Amino acid sequence: MLYRNKRLEEALEFVRESGADIFCLQEVPETLLPRLKELPYHFAAIKEVDFIARGFSSTSYIVILSRYPITRHESIALPLPSRVPLLSRFFYAVGLWALARSERHVCMADLDTPAGPLRIFNLHLSLTHPKRRMRELELALAARDSTIPSIVCGDLNTLEKPHINILNWLLGGTARDMLSWRRERTHIEKRFASYELANALRGRRTHPLSRSQLDHILTSPHFTIKNAHVLPGRYGSDHHPIRIELAVH
């Protein structure tokens, strides 16, 4: 959604009119939560992170909307980095960056669908460096149960282009994280395979500036992927929405 989204009415209208059975939203401003609760969906929300931007502090939220009942949901904490890189401090000082003031959190929810139970993970990994993001992914998916159909949604911040990978080094990674610009994608796809998760949008760009697939919808082997799309509008976000249609085996 983008914490500083200036087109929230358009974003809300997109959600309202999409017809999707399940929505996973990240960086949802607190002011939008009451409006989302009014939609004809079951609703689960957790604090994503407390942050401070230039001139104000706020909280963003992770939200799952579902046409199927949500039987339970819980928050999974991802530890706060021990230090803030100098680049982050600089970008914050000039108003281009928000700094986290608390742990990040993942939302896990169990849904009761006509085909049986379904587990959803909604996550937003840190814009730091590959080793940290991989650790966050492992912590988030520790609650995965291979016997339960699962969908993993969210912004994994996987950088995979030469012009953007310098951030991996400047935000705490190694020189190799910067120079071997396809390495993070190779490693994370291997990890998806170890979890038996399919990446329906592999190779698609979901974020114009990075020209990378930051955003993912990963599915367990219980599903067949019928189609997958990166949608053209952005509705005030810096990311494109992504959508897939699934059939249950």
Q: Is the pLDDT of residue 188 over 90?
A: yes
Q: What is the rounded CA–CA span in Å between residue 1 and residue 75?
A: 19
pLDDT digits over 222-237, tens only?
999 999 999 999 999 9
In terms of Cα–Cα distance, which of 112, 236, 132, 120 is closest to 184? 132
Residue 82 has pLDDT above 80, yes or no: no
Letter string b/e over residues 127-162, b meaning 16 or more CB atoms within 10 A of that residue's CB: bbbbebbbebbebbbeebeeeebbbbbbbbbbbbee
pTM: 0.94
In a domain, 25, yes or no: yes
Q: Are 140 and 123 in contact (CB under 8 A)?
A: yes
Q: How high is the mean pLDDT of the chain? A: 94
Q: Once rounded to an integer, what is the mean pLDDT over residues 238-246?
A: 97
pLDDT score of 88 more than 90: no
Predicted confidence (pLDDT) per residue in 3-41, tens digit = 889 999 999 999 999 999 999 999 999 999 999 999 999
Share of the chain above pLDDT 90, in %: 85
Q: What is the mean pLDDT of residues 48-65?
A: 91
> Is 1 among the domain residues?
no
- 3 assigned to some structural domain: no
Domain count across the chain: 1
DSSP code of 212? B
Percent of the chain with pLDDT strictly greater than 70: 100
Residue with the two structure tokens 């939200």: 63
Helix (H, G, I), strand (E, B) or coil at 4: coil
Per-position b or e across 71-81, b if 16+ CB within 10 A of its CB? eebeebebeeb
* Residue 100 belongs to some domain of the structure: yes
Mean pLDDT confidence for 117-137: 96
Q: Across-strand partners of 215? A: 155
Residue 17 sits in a domain whose CATH number is 3.60.10.10
203 assigned to some structural domain: yes
Task: Please give the DSSP secondary-structure letter assigned to residue 211.
Answer: T
**What does the DSSP 8-state code read for residue 76?**
E
Which residues form the domain of 85?
Answer: 8-248
Q: What is the mean pLDDT of residues 96-107?
A: 90
- Residue-level pLDDT at 87: 81
